[in-house]
Amino acid sequence: MKITVIGIGKVGSTVGFMLAREGLASELMLWNRTFAVAEAEATDIQQACAFTPFRVQVRAARNVEDTAGSDVLVVCASVPTPEDMSERTVLAHGNARLLRELIPAFAAASPAAVIVNVTNPMDAMTWHLIQLTGFPWQRVIGTGTLVDSARFRDLLAEQTGIHPVDLKAYILGEHGATQFAALSIATAGGEAIDATPAREQLLEETKQSPFRVFRAKGYTNYAVASAAVMIVESIVKDLRHTLPVSVQINGFVGVSDVCLSLPAVIGRGGVCFTMTPGLSEPEQACFRKCAATVSAVIQSLH
């Protein structure tokens, strides 16, 4: 299994380390515009592999050709993030230009790859990657609200006294300001999780927590890298996990031609199928609002 990570900043390097530590690749390529950075990270990660039971070859890619034949491309490339960023859409035009410059060559070198996108603004850039590569939408997956759902479950666990893994509660829609908690379908042990005001308030905490981390340390990396690696693991091992990820929407509650997060079953070829949860009427309206927000960002890129 050959995996390439494109963009070796804080998130990309963390993704690379976690992929190697979990033995998910036999060949792990790290590509960065500054080759010395990728080379240093590759050396460090390769040496860390000596502490694992896995045989992983970690190398820095000198050029796109070194990444040819990758089974998975993890896109972490981004323009610099403003120190005062409070909304991911400020990155849209810069990252769209960056992806236009970089991604077609990687896609041509690995035409059968599944793309896992981490670049923000998540949903608009995932849609943009489908257009740039010409890949079927099933092979272009954004981390989407997987990380938001994990944050929400972590907070919800404190209220319910139930382990986060056992809480079937999703944040859906946009990985951004219009995301919503689909509490009408939330369960634990087959029992509904009531949408109390206190639980609905957790959505705001979920939205704000990454920005508090960002303002304190200048970046977020562990949670989003964990989300990306969970998706990659489901692809590599064909696990068929159901994950709330950013995918192309084709008619759900009247929404099409945009990427948003819905629960999707992820396997070796990417998205096996997308679930169509029975959202309440207010939640359906929230989903359509997310679509309008992301569509406006997409239109601004033309």
The residue to which tokens 């592999």 are assigned: 49
List 93, 128, 163, 175, catalytic entry: 175
C-alpha–C-alpha distance, residues 262 and 120, integer Å: 18
φ, ψ dihedrals at 135, nearest 5°: -70, 150
* Pick from 228, 221, 62, 269: nearest CA to 146: 228
Give start and end residues of each alpha helix (H) in 71-190.
92-109, 122-133, 146-160
Fill in the amino acid letter for 200. Answer: E
CB 92 within 8 A of CB 299: no
In the residue annotation, 241 being an active-site residue is answered as no
φ, ψ dihedrals at 170, nearest 5°: -115, 140
Q: Catalytic site residues?
A: 175
